[in-house]
Amino acid sequence: MPTRRDLLRAGGATALLLLLGGGAGCGDPDDDRLRFLNWQDYVDPQILRDFEEAEGIRVSYSTYASNDELADRLALAGVARRRGRDPKTVDLVVPSEGLLRRFIDQERLRALDPAVVTPALLANLAPAIDDGGPDPAHRVRVPWATGTTGIGYDTRVFPEPPDWDLFLDTAHEGRLTLLDERREAYAAALFSLGEDPNSTDPAVVAAATEQLLRMRPQLRGFDAADYLDLLADGELVAAQAFNTDIAQARRRNPDLAFVVPRSGGIRWTDSLCIPEGAPNPGLAQRFVAWYLRPEIAAANSLALRVDTGNLAARDLLPAELLSDPLAFPDAEAASRLVTLADLGEEASLYVEGWEQVRG
């Protein structure tokens, strides 16, 4: 029996139709289709169905497992477009901060239309969500969700929450994973060394590379696609994880828990953006406005157990979710969180080390 993640990973309109059991506007031509590329397990299918019905169009929804994969797919689409082939360009993407900054610097995102994405809709957002982030005025993006990266673990194996040095423990060989995303994996190694995950000191990054090489024999692999299911099924005892994935895995396996380790974790905000070259930017603008509506953001928050960054939506959420530290970390856990910065040219230190780690 395919899981929800299997269906989303299938990609394209077929995945959406399988997931939703159909959709409005199925006979529409491709030119009237909204192409949405998003993270795995990161949307309430009902809000896509409702948008289809409201707009009389079809949504083609496909997924990726990491920022690295998203960057590669958009780069390949750009190359294809320049060579005159089918560009496979999309209308909406959801990068995290580091990749978002790169897209902004490279002017690869369309400006939001204030006649559609109105100031009144933007006023629904929580002001603190943009502190220190790129594009605080929402010129080219709005937050899709904000969350954390820490460790998901089986409480039957770990009565006490583990820290990042867990991934050096040979007792759990083959039952651990780190994320298959360069900066996130390096963050695990750097936290375990007591270092800043945004370090650009060559000696520190080299030490983190060696730490990842020491961790690698204990790993089942580097995985951003399947670890949710593997944890839920008991094939893993712990994994570097996004809090949103653990929230869903716990529905299948209540013995799972999530921790922002004592040595630190990552705070991220993913943003809804329209790439330059989007085939249907008008539809994309309308979807951004749709998602800013409090009832829509609240529906996604409740389905995924995630903070959307929409302050007006919080008034529609149950107290049980608002008090869940997995979705809304308390002040003590939040004090241990760091945001990954765009390191510019210094990122080459991580690129070179990652090639060595990944073999």
pLDDT of residue 89: 83
pLDDT of residue 26: 37
Check pLDDT > 80 for residue 9: no
The per-residue pLDDT of the chain, averaged, comes to: 88
Residue of 311, 315, 189 whose CA lies nearest to 261:
189
In contact, 100 and 106? CB cutoff 8 Å: no
- Residue 300 phi/psi, 5-degree rounding, is -70, -40
Q: Can you read off the two tokens belonging to residue 263?
A: 């040595």
Check pLDDT > 70 for residue 153: yes
- Predicted confidence (pLDDT) per residue in 156-201, tens digit: 999 999 999 999 999 999 999 999 999 999 999 999 999 999 999 9
* Of 40 and 271, the one with more pLDDT: 271
Query: What radius of gyration, in Å, describes the C-alpha atoms of the chain?
Result: 20
With pLDDT > 70 as the criterion, what percentage of the chain qualifies? Answer: 87
- List helix spans (H) across the chain: 4-10, 12-20, 45-55, 67-82, 97-105, 119-122, 182-192, 202-215, 227-232, 243-252, 281-292, 294-304, 311-314, 319-322, 331-334, 348-358
With pLDDT > 90 as the criterion, what percentage of the chain qualifies? Answer: 76
Burial class (CB in 10 A: 0-12, 13-18, 19+), 287: buried
pLDDT of residue 97: 87
Q: Give the distance between the most distant pair of CA atoms in the chain.
A: 58
Residue of 261, 97, 269 whose CA lies nearest to 191:
261
